[in-house]
Amino acid sequence: MLALWLITLPFTLLVAGLSGMVIIHSEGDWFTYAFIGSNYTYPISVLVAFLFRRKRPELVFLPCLNIALFFVFGAGMR
């Protein structure tokens, strides 16, 4: 799982940079800020999963939370 997160990290950094443009076309509701926050915190969750992979192996699934929030809040925006 950790290899998958590290492979997808460059793509998600590109998407996180582009997701800031969502504010231009939205009303600035909390769905927008949660969507952008899930993009910006993805590299942090990958780093936490990488650092704690030996002590807490279940944290390798932490980036799944960011991906789930990305799709949930992205679908809720107009």
- Cut 0.85: pTM above it: no
Q: Is 80 exceeded by the pLDDT of residue 20?
A: no
- Specify the pLDDT at position 54: 92
- Specify the pLDDT at position 39: 86
Give the range among 8-22, 44-58, 60-74 with minimum mean pLDDT.
8-22
Per the CB < 8 A criterion, the answer to whether 12 and 43 are in contact is: yes
Phi then psi dihedrals of residue 59, to 5 deg = -75, -5
